[in-house]
Structure 1
Amino acid sequence: MRITVLVYQSPYPGPNGATPGYLVETRAARILLDCGSGVLAQLGNHTPIYHLDALLLSHYHHDHIADVGVLQYGIMVHQLFSQRPTEKPLPIYAPAQPIANAQSLPYKQATTFHPVDEKTQMTIGDIQISFLRTDHGDGDPCFAMRLEASGKVLVYGADSGPHTKWKGFADGADLFICEGTYLDHNKPKEPKGHLSVREAAQLAQELACRSLMITHLYAEYEVEEVKNQAKAYQNGPCHIAQIGLQIEL
């Protein structure tokens, strides 16, 4: 399983940056996790959009879905150009709430919508996928994703606050992609549905994850400062998300 960081910034893209999106590839599947602002421009460096087997959306905040509309247009155009069969729309798996967001996902013959929740278990190609609702603060559902293929486990934490119940879902993951929205100097006194870099590192250590990627970073954060605040994680490699970073599991 190969994971490519297409983009990782939040809440908005910095210069030449973009907001979250990750490409997961195996011998039998290509799956896009989230589709933020600028994701498609980066995706084209790795695979044409008409080769995607599915899009999985964790939730509907703008930084995670901003490119969905242009992805729908793109798939439609590739169907018109006979590069993707019209009988093969791109399935989009996402929460059922808010309803208005969910209703926007089917588009002509290009895309279809498939609701997910914590009971959803599915297989795409050779990847088994399950979901966990995270603590994201505002009442609308946000789901982390567990992807398993060829004996390897990837957990994409999406947006998640300190009250997310990770036990039994992320324990021992070969790679835990975990948000580090805050640094020590700007972390709110009360939890706001996000983790700091330090909390992300501590969590991955407690869960005995075999490697960690810290993501969902503000564009002005310095890599060295992020690394310094992630020192609590000692179980394995600690990656700081960068555009184009690839990890093989």
Structure 2
Amino acid sequence: MTRNSVSYSLFFTGTGSGGNLSVGSSAAVLEKNGSPLLLIDCGPGTLNTYAEHYSGQLPSAIFLTHCHLDHIADLEILTVRARLRNAPPIPLFVPVSLITLLHQRLATYPGQMAEGDHDFWQSFQLRPVSDAFRYGEEDFRIYPTRHHGPGSSFALQLPGVFFYSGDTRPIPELLHHVVSTEEKLFHDCGVDPNPSHTGLTDLAREYRPDICQRLTLYHYADESAGAELSKAGYQIACPGQTINLRPELSGHE
């Protein structure tokens, strides 16, 4: 029997909360065997960092956690780049409850491009998601989180590999019940809590110690905030960092 190893990693194009250029807008790329598989969110600056890291490529597929502009604004730039390259429509996985808002925010401007009859959706293949989706050979799950209103933001899970919270308040109902011991846990966290985001003091109060030890934090305000989270004993993700995830092994006779 021979065994082929499939490795996964997560490359962070940015880890910030959208207000500081030094840490960029939070977005990450799931890599499979070192190649980009799925971009998670596409806020300001994401595309340029993606292109620099992946030799000018456009994203092959995208999942959106929610529709705040610091997580979707570069989609408008992407529709132009895809059109000018005559690229095939890019699969865009969007939770069903977000589709109307996404359309209103980015796809209703009349005559979006001067270069021919082209609109936002012609650059994408809309893939509505209820609670799960398959892309390539991977089966992903999504979960509603606590960010502003109900059904407005979603976490992404590749079972057995990673869990990515998206923007959220603490979600012990998920991290205590739906993740496995093998999964890397990536969690929204800043220094100070607010009604839409987790803060440092929330973590120990809301999560078991074993969960806290497994968290990698992102979506913090700036480098000093990241340093404060790290000083408190938590792992943080940094812009431009690639984090290895649990390898999956498959056997073949």
Specify whether residues 210 and 180 from structure 1 end up closer, same or farther in structure 2 by C-alpha distance, changes over 3 A only.
closer
Q: How many residues align?
A: 223
Give the aligned residue type for 1:74: R
Specify whether residues 73 and 35 from structure 1 end up closer, same or farther in structure 2 by C-alpha distance, changes over 3 A only.
same
Q: Which of 169, 174, 185 pairs up with 1:176?
A: 185
1:246 and 2:242 are equivalent in the alignment: yes
Question: Among the aligned pairs, what percent are the same residue?
Answer: 22
Task: State how far apart, in whole Å, the 1-side matches of 2:172 and 2:103 are.
Answer: 23
Q: Which of 155, 158, 162 pairs up with 1:147?
A: 158
Give the aligned residue type for 2:79: Q
The Cα of 1:111 is off from its aligned counterpart by 0.7
Contact 1:57 1:65 (C-alpha < 8 Å) held by counterparts = yes
**Aligned Cα root-mean-square deviation (Å):** 2.7
- State the match for 1:115 in structure 2: 128
- State the match for 2:229 in structure 1: 226
Q: Which of 149, 161, 173 pairs up with 1:138?
A: 149
The Cα of 1:18 is off from its aligned counterpart by 1.8
**Deviations along 1:41-78, whole A, 9 cap, x unmatched?**
11112225645331000010111112111112122222
User: Which stretch shifts more, 138-147 or 105-114?
Assistant: 105-114
Give the aligned residue type for 1:33: I
Structure with the bigger RCO (C-alpha within 8 Å, sep 6+) is 2
The Cα of 1:126 is off from its aligned counterpart by 2.6
Higher percent of residues as helix? 2
For structure 1, the residue ranges without an aligned partner over 5 or more in a row are 232-237
**Deviations along 1:193-235, whole A, 9 cap, x unmatched?**
3211343466565564773210000025344311233x3xxxx
Larger radius of gyration: 2
Give the aligned residue type for 2:161: V
Higher percent of residues as strand? 2
Q: SS in structure 2 opposite 1:158?
A: coil
Specify whether residues 219 and 180 from structure 1 end up closer, same or farther in structure 2 by C-alpha distance, changes over 3 A only.
same
**Deviations along 1:87-133, whole A, 9 cap, x unmatched?**
xx10111133351424646835321222223xx22221232200000
Specify whether residues 91 and 142 from structure 1 end up closer, same or farther in structure 2 by C-alpha distance, changes over 3 A only.
same
Q: Which of 101, 107, 128 pairs up with 2:139?
A: 128
Give the aligned residue type for 2:54: T
The Cα of 1:164 is off from its aligned counterpart by 5.8
Specify whether residues 102 and 171 from structure 1 end up closer, same or farther in structure 2 by C-alpha distance, changes over 3 A only.
farther
Q: Which of 12, 18, 22 pairs up with 1:5?
A: 12
User: Which stretch shifts more, 239-248 or 24-33?
Assistant: 24-33
TM-score by structure 1 length?
A: 0.77
- 1:43-122 correspondence runs (5 A): 43-48=50-55, 50=57, 52-79=59-86, 84=87, 86=88, 89-98=89-98, 99-102=100-103, 104=106, 107-117=120-130, 120-122=131-133
Specify whether residues 77 and 201 from structure 1 end up closer, same or farther in structure 2 by C-alpha distance, changes over 3 A only.
farther
Contact 1:144 1:156 (C-alpha < 8 Å) held by counterparts = yes
Q: Which of 167, 170, 180 pairs up with 1:159?
A: 167
Task: State how far apart, in whole Å, the 2-side matches of 1:211 and 1:42 are.
Answer: 27
Q: SS in structure 2 opposite 1:161?
A: coil
For structure 2, the residue ranges without an aligned partner over 5 or more in a row are 1-7, 108-118, 246-253
Q: SS in structure 2 opposite 1:30?
A: strand
Give the aligned residue type for 2:219: H
The Cα of 1:239 is off from its aligned counterpart by 2.7
